[in-house]
Amino acid sequence: METAKEFEVRSPKRKPWKKYALISVGIVVLLIAIALIFVNVYINRSLPQVQGEVEINGLEEQVTVLRDDQGVPHIKAENAHDLFLAQGYVQAQDRLFQMELARRQASGTLSEVVGEATVDQDKYFRTLGLRRAAEASLTSYSEESMDALEAFSDGVNAYINDASTNHRLPPEFALMGIEPEAWEPVDSLTVGKYMAFDLGGHWERQAFNYYLLSEFNEEKAYELFPTYPEKAPTILGEVGKVDVASSFKDAVIPHAFNGSNNWVVSGERTSSGAPLLADDPHLGLATPSIWYQMHLQSPEYNVSGVIFAGIPGIILGHNSDISWGVTNVGPDVQQLYLEKRNPDNPDEFLYEEEWEEATIHKEPIKVKDADTIDYEVTETRHGPIVSEFAEQSGKDTSMTLRWTALDPTTELEAILEINRSTNWNQFEKGLEKFLAPAQNFVFASNDGTIAYKANGQIPIYDNPDDALLPMRGWKEEDEWKGYIPFDELPSIVNPEEGFVATANNKVVGDDYPYHISHNWAQPYRYERIVQLLEGKENLKVEDFQEMQMDVHNLQAEEFLPFMLSHLSRENLSHQEEEAVSLLEGWNYEDDKDLTQPLLFHAWISSIQDVLYQSSIPEEMRGLFHGSGQTTDELLRDVREGEDSVWITEAGGIEQVMTTSFNRMISERVEDLGEDVERWTWGDAHAVAFTHPLSSIGFLERFYNPEEPKPVSGSRVTVRAAGYGEDGIVDHGASWRFVSDLSKPSLGHHIVGPGQSGHFRSAWYHDQFDDWVEGAYHETSLQETSGQELMLTPAE
């Protein structure tokens, strides 16, 4: 047996360089390990403190913050000041980076921290002037509301100061090399103005209609208008042509699919004998969620629901007496005006035969690692010139935007009054201060009342057709004639039908004396909700939850037989024959495991391409909001025996159906293979809840820990699920809520993908699967259990 010494003698000696190389590798590994440990410790340190005690300057009394199993904070304070200060602190704990991005995006200051990539976006938001509008709104608020805004800001800043001092800021700040500035009341109002922008109006459709009349004859142009105008407009002959395509090429356009569902049923039709209410606002789906769920309790408040991060109060939810929810009305509150500029003075514009001086706002844009841009915004009596933020739009003519949300408004005032309301009269009184955006509110109270009301400043037009196109900025007769009086806005209390439902559908009949909008959502979600409610009794919470997940496709039920009947069956390939057979046997359910929803939605999209792609440039189709509704109307006209210029010029209805079908199948074969029966809707329709920093390659595994999950539903089903060209579902029910007024202290919620914005938190993506599967959690206004944090006044 060899001894160690003998082995040592016989072993070859290591060369010195190998020895040093191994030492170097060991040092590198050690340094990497130390770095990883440091990063890991740093990241964990930045997790919110949810237990123990924290001293905060400005508190008058001790505040309890209890986070339940879903990470929902239940804040209990002895007074309203402490309540809102604690709300600001807690929101910042979970969502500070989201709040920072939100105020920067709305204020047009992203380039300070991102660089040149966001300059055009900043120019657009500086042009709109959301922050200027928020600053103007401050003077309209009561002392009580200003106290709430100040206390909330103090709470946010208390967290910023604590996290900065103790190196506990969320890691996103380190990744971007920035630190958050102090939060101010105007920041909260600016974030609120951004939400009004996201739910906005229809200026882009006015611009598109203007483009149509500029490029096509009246018959062809009017066919794509949302409403066929009774009299031809004369404006095009009075001004120079505005190049819409180039002027708006960098405009930030809100998602066309922004909508919502809500409905409320009286106790006569429920199992409990008390009203039931459901709400699911359809907004962007991302990480963190656009909503933050909270429960706020003090002697003045006991309210639970959701709010946008960066804003005090609860915007949607319930208290111990009432519940409420919203959908977007979508009224014509945005109006483009064509302006005549003085050729001798570019800062003057014509109005009633006189030149008026515009207001010039200096908006210097700081750009990371680049020079500051000396940007200016020109604002006429109607609003900012929006056609020039990208480039000169015309020699003498420009477009301005008149928009109600750019006026001083008092939404937070309304929210705080609503939060304290105990009955319909108080609630409706609070709504009078909710000026923008206009929403369809449904309401229920434990006294048995159910109600509906549209809110907001909705302009009065002399002629409703005026809202279809830009108007003349130099004519007084083209000005709005005030706003629809609050008492005359659409409203109903305790209807005979025993229910009220809205889904961005047309909410008024032809006998309503005022114009609301030309642009309503396709009616299928609303019609399906009514189908599910009509004649039903003994309704329960579980029934409403099932309704929110309903995926029956009424658009397909209406149009697929017509589409198949005009499809040429000659020379069909094997895949095309298989697809036809599958479609003919479909139950019209947009189920993720079925092939037919994929075929139908791809076919509908292909029909639009066949009709519009060769005539309307891609950048203009981005302004063609409501194109689905318009295409439906064209198909209905042909189905009823009427002519359509667009369909005729595309070769007739059989040619349109056959060409679009062939293209659709060919593209799907290329993407998914030749076996049609193996294709599923889930192959092209999956939700991801992506984080804004996940596009940086190595960060994706941290910020997007879940693979995209196939989901059922579509843009036209009650279970709304809008998607982009990549098949990722990015719009839908950002919050689902059901309330049984027999148990007013309980709310049934889902906030996908979770409460926290910190990727190491247990509440980061814990509601992802629940959102996909339709599971809900209960949140109570009464005592609950969880992790408790005490906020105490600093000595």
| Structural domain spans, the chain | 4-45, 554-588+595-679
CA-based nearest residue to 378, from 405, 340, 354, 348 = 348
Cβ 61 vs Cβ 78: under 8 Å? yes
Which stretches of the chain drop beneath a pLDDT of 50?
Answer: 1-23, 25-38, 232-237, 239, 390-394
Instruction: Give the number of other CB atoms < 10 A from CB of residue 157.
Output: 21
Q: Is the backbone peptide bond immediately before 281 cis, with ω within 30 degrees of 0?
A: no
Give me the pLDDT at residue 397, please.
77
Classify 449 as helix, strand or coil: coil
- Identify the pLDDT of residue 126: 96
For tokens 């920072």, the residue is 100
SS3 state at 333: coil
| CA proximity to 217, closest of 646, 612, 791, 755 | 646
Instruction: Answer whether 255's CB lies under 8 Å from 328's CB.
Output: no
Both ends of the chain: CA-CA distance in Å? 76
- Residues 91 and 99 sit within 8 Å (Cβ to Cβ): yes
**What confidence score (pLDDT) does residue 396 get?**
63
Structure-block tokens of residue 140: 């309209």
Are 522 and 631 a contacting pair, CB within 8 Å? no
Instruction: Name residue 45's amino acid.
Output: R
What's the confidence (pLDDT) of residue 407? 97
Q: How many angstroms separate the CA atoms of 410 and 436, rounded?
A: 8
Helix (H) or strand (E) holding 585: none
- Please report where in the chains the tokens 């009075």 appear, as a residue: 238
Respond yes or no: is residue 188 known to be catalytic. no
316 Cα distance to chain centroid: 15
Distance CA 624, CA 601 (A): 18
Cα–Cα distance between 82 and 298 in angstroms, integer?
9
**Candidate list 46, 111, 260, 445, residue with the active-site label:** 260
The β-bridge partners of 11 are: none
Q: How far apart are CA 301 and CA 420, in angstroms?
A: 6
Question: CB–CB of 223/645 below 8 Å?
Answer: yes
Cα separation of 141 and 136, whole Å? 10
DSSP string, 738-786: EEETTSTTEEEEE-SS-S-S-TTSTTSSTTHHHHHHT--EEEESS---S
The owner of tokens 């922004």 is 258
Contact 339, 397 (CB under 8 A): yes
Backbone angles phi, psi at 731, to 5 degrees: -140, 140
- Residue 332 is assigned to a ligand binding site: yes
Residue 42 burial class via C-beta count within 10 angstroms: exposed 0-12, middle 13-18, buried 19 and up:
middle
Q: What is residue 198's predicted lDDT score, i.e. its pLDDT?
A: 86
C-alpha angle 616-634-519 in degrees, rounded to nearest 5: 75
Alpha carbons 95 and 169: distance in angstroms, whole number: 11
pLDDT at 256: 57
Burial (Cβ within 10 Å: 0-12, 13-18, ≥19) of residue 555: buried
Cα dihedral 113→116→118→121 (10° resolution): 130
| Element spanning 328, H or E | strand 322-328
- pLDDT at residue 231, as a whole number: 54
Question: Element (H or E) spanning 354, and its range?
Answer: strand 354-357
Which two three-digit tokens encode residue 108? 């047009």
Distance between CA 338 and CA 322 in Å, rounded?
A: 46
Q: Are 501 and 530 in contact (CB under 8 A)?
A: yes
Are 734 and 288 a contacting pair, CB within 8 Å?
no
User: Tokens for 126?
Assistant: 């500086």
> If residue 709 lies in a helix (H) or strand (E), which one and from where to where?
strand 709-710
Token representation of residue 531: 């189908």
Q: Tell me if the bond preceding 437 is cis, omega within 30° of 0.
A: yes
Q: Which of 192, 200, 334 is nearest to 259 (CA)?
A: 200
Q: Which amino acid is at 542?
A: E
Task: From 268, 99, 267, select the one nearest 169 (Cα to Cα).
Answer: 99
Location of structure tokens 């369809």: 440
On whether the CB atoms of residues 252 and 422 are closer than 8 A, the answer is: no
Q: Are 173 and 97 in contact (CB under 8 A)?
A: yes
Please state, in angstroms and rounded to a whole number, the distance separating the CA atoms of residues 133 and 138: 9
DSSP letter for each residue of 469-535: S-EETT-GGGS---B--GGGSSEEES-TTSEEEESS---S-TT-SS---S----THHHHHHHHHHTT
